[in-house]
Structure 1
Amino acid sequence: MLLALAALPAAAVAMAEGTLSPQRQKALVHLVRQDCGSCHGMTLKGGLGKPLLPENLADRDAETLAEIILDGIPDTPMPPWRSQLTQEEALWIARRLKEGFPHETP
Structure 2
Amino acid sequence: MAQPPDEARKAGLTRLVRQDCGSCHGMTLKGGLGKPLLPHDLKEQTVSELADIILDGVPGTPMPGWRGLLSRDEAYWIARQLKSGAIKRGNVK
User: TM-score w.r.t. structure 1 length?
Assistant: 0.81
5+ residue gaps, structure 1, are 1-11
Change (3 A) 1:104 1:26: farther
Cα RMSD for the two superposed structures: 1.3
Aligned equivalent of 1:65, options 43, 50, 53: 50
1:94 aligned counterpart, secondary structure? helix
* Aligned counterparts of 2:38 and 2:48: Cα–Cα separation in 1: 16
Aligned partner of 1:77 in structure 2 is 62
5+ residue gaps, structure 2, are none
Aligned partner of 1:88 in structure 2 is 73
Aligned residues: 91
Aligned partner of 2:21 in structure 1 is 36
Question: What is the one-letter code of the residue matched to 1:44?
Answer: L
Identity of aligned residues (%): 56
Higher Rg: 1
